[in-house]
């Protein structure tokens, strides 16, 4: 199993959690972004810089991900593609996307986008906070414990 990170929009605090986790658990992680990323020197941490573009990092992640891999992303369409390939995704707020829930999340996302395009002001997500960080850490730990103990 490898972890891929949609690193352009991933909060710094989540990346820091991931750096420590992959070191401790000895899991390879690849951060994909359209900008230079400064990461700790580690045999478990890699970066890929893709050309600038709306979905260039997403496309690279989908190209590389295989069944059983984990992707960290807040992008629901990317999570859908990952799950379709047999992978898993966790968003930075700690929600695990699986075959059982991704289509519902995608439908809700699309409905909200349609409502915004009709002029409704729905606001954005709440500010990322300590509780979100803790939920992410707990979800990541549960997922890795389950997968690595098989």
Q: List the chain domain ranges.
A: 3-148
For residue 57, give Cα distances in angstroms to 108, 130, 139.
23, 27, 24
- Among 7-11, 59-63, 120-124, the range scoring the smallest mean pLDDT is 120-124
Measured CA angle at 85 (ends 42, 16), to 5 deg = 30
Q: DSSP state, 128? A: P
Measured CA angle at 125 (ends 50, 133), to 5 deg = 75
Is residue 145 pLDDT above 90, yes or no? yes
**Tens of pLDDT, residues 62-78:** 999 999 999 999 998 99
| Phi and psi, residue 95, nearest 5° | -90, 125
- Residues 34-45 have a mean pLDDT of 96
Put simply, whether the predicted model's pTM sits higher than 0.85 gets the answer yes
Give domain 3-148's CATH number out of 3.30.110, 3.30.450, 3.30.70, 3.40.50: 3.40.50
């Amino acid at each position: 199993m490898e972890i891929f990170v949609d690193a352009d929009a991933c909060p710094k605090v989540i990346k820091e959690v991931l750096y420590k986790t992959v070191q401790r658990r000895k899991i390879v992680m690849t951060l994909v972004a359209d900008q230079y990323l400064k990461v700790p020197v580690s045999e478990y941490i890699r970066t890929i810089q893709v050309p600038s573009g709306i979905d260039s990092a997403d496309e690279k992640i989908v190209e590389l991900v295989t069944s059983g891999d984990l992707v960290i992303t807040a992008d629901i369409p990317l999570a859908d593609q990952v799950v379709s390939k047999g992978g898993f995704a966790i968003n930075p707020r700690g929600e695990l996307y699986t075959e059982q829930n991704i289509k519902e999340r995608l439908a809700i996302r699309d409905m909200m986008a349609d409502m915004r395009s009709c002029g409704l002001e729905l606001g954005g997500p709440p500010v990322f906070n300590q509780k979100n960080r803790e939920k992410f850490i707990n979800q990541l730990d549960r997922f890795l414990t389950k997968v690595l103990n098989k």
